[in-house]
Amino acid sequence: MKVKLIALDLDGTLLNSCGYISDKTLLVIKMAIEKGIQVVPATGRSVGLICEEIKSIEGITYVISSNGAAVVNLRENKVVFSNFITIDILKKITEIIKGYPIVVEFYSGGDAYIDEDVFVNPTKYGLTEKCLSLMSNNHNLVKNIFSIVEDREECEWLDCVEKVNIPFLKEDMKTQVFNSLLCISNQIKITSSVEDNLEINTHSANKGNSLEKLAKLLGINLKETAAIGDNNNDIEMIQMAGIGIAMGNASEGIKMKSDFITLDNDKNGAAEAILQILNENL
């Protein structure tokens, strides 16, 4: 059965270790689109944090963002499916994590919101200049962000929070925060897309469910889909797709659940996997 849709993770998959997409990978994606294949970025990032180099590729219409909490039609700037964190669950999350000296990002409406104190007192959070530069141009600064959540102040973005992201974590702090959140593990899903972060969604949000809904919307059988990923926020997507592909740099858990393994993200592994799909589609 020919593949009609390819879902592609970004960090650790399409993007190399330096966070860039190679010319070869861009070329191969365009080749797939020319062959009539729907190419769908499927990422833990909000839409606003996806690099323009990818969003601007002609032929990429849909994005699975924030680990499946939102499926967005880029060309119409329209959410076609959403699975947001309710305000009650959001309040529980913030109550647990607010005491830690950590950076907390709230993804909502395709944007990222962060407490302005992160930039006022970066040493409190152990942030380097590089970390600050990664956030400075694409985050909305909010004063006393935890208080806004706790008091349920009237704030549009609070009603459509896709994901809570905690980046730049050292291993011991990551373990502490993860263990603290386990008390509400029946209400939330905790994953990672890179080594030093934790990502919190509502329990039923994942890339696999969104892939299923998008395929149905497009009239594509799931057996005609492929998914490529590397980390534990890709597991459901890889299992849901007709062909699940693990990157060479993927975790062992991902590799065990995939149909085959490609090269790593610094050797154009995603491009090689897409080329193999194109050859098999002939």
| Residue 63 pLDDT | 98
Dist. CA 166–CA 148, nearest whole Å: 18
Domain identity same for 104 and 182: yes
Whole-angstrom CA distances from 232 to 4, 181, 271 are 24, 17, 21
What tokens were used for 199?
């990502």
Compute the Cα dihedral for 240, 201, 58, 8 and give only its sign.
negative
Phi-psi label, residue 239: left if phi above 0, alpha if psi -120 to 50, beta otherwise = alpha
pTM of whole model > 0.85?
yes
Dist. CA 137–CA 125, nearest whole Å: 19
Q: Which helix (H) or strand (E) holds 90?
A: helix 87-97
Mean pLDDT of 86-106: 95
Using 50, 70 and 90 to split pLDDT, how confident is the model at 47? very high
Last residue of a domain, one of 202, 222, 251: 202
Rg (CA), the chain: 18
Using 50, 70 and 90 to split pLDDT, how confident is the model at 148? confident
Domain identity same for 98 and 140: yes
Domain identity same for 120 and 19: no
Name the residue type at position 259. D
Domain identity same for 54 and 100: no
- Describe the chain by its helix, strand, coil percentages, rounded to 5: 40, 20, 35
What average pLDDT does the chain have? 94
Whether 32 and 274 have beta carbons less than 8 Å apart is answered as yes
Q: What is the pLDDT of residues 115-146, one digit of tens each?
A: 999 999 999 998 888 888 878 777 889 999 99
Q: What is the CATH number of the domain that holds 183?
A: 3.30.1240.10
Whether 156 and 35 have beta carbons less than 8 Å apart is answered as no
Last residue of a domain, one of 153, 170, 202: 202
| Residue 90 pLDDT | 95
Domain identity same for 173 and 103: yes
Name the residue type at position 87. I
| Residue 138 pLDDT | 79
Domain identity same for 21 and 70: yes
Phi-psi label, residue 109: left if phi above 0, alpha if psi -120 to 50, beta otherwise = left
Q: What is the CATH number of the domain that holds 227?
A: 3.40.50.1000
Domain identity same for 192 and 218: no
How many independent structural domains does the chain possess?
2
Question: In this predicted model, which residue has the larger pLDDT, 155 or 47?
Answer: 47
Domain identity same for 64 and 101: no
Say whether pLDDT at 264 is over 80: yes
Last residue of a domain, one of 153, 183, 202: 202
Whether 208 and 215 have beta carbons less than 8 Å apart is answered as no
Domain identity same for 228 and 123: no
Dist. CA 202–CA 187, nearest whole Å: 6
Dist. CA 116–CA 98, nearest whole Å: 14
Dist. CA 20–CA 54, nearest whole Å: 10
- Its domain, for residue 138, covers 87-202
What tokens were used for 54?
């990818």
